[in-house]
Amino acid sequence: MKRIKAACLYQTIHFQLKDGISAEFNRRQARQEYENYKAHLNQSRTQYRIMEEEE
């Protein structure tokens, strides 16, 4: 029987900004959503590597 030892998935995630809301509030909301996403990955012990981060 063969088993997968490792796999690689390259994924781009775009956290959308909402219309009609101030730019600063939008940035804070997107940053918070991003931090929550990373916290969830850490909590589930998912191994990940951030190749590039752009704001």
- How does pLDDT run across 2-49, given as a tens digit for each residue? 887 877 878 888 877 888 888 888 888 888 988 999 999 999 998 888
pLDDT at 55 over 80: no
Closest to 30 (Cα-Cα) out of 4, 53, 3, 50: 53
pLDDT at 52 over 80: yes
Burial annotation 29-49 (CB, 10 A radius, 16+ → b, else e) = ebeeeeeeeeeeeeeeeeeee
Distance CA 50, CA 10 (A): 10
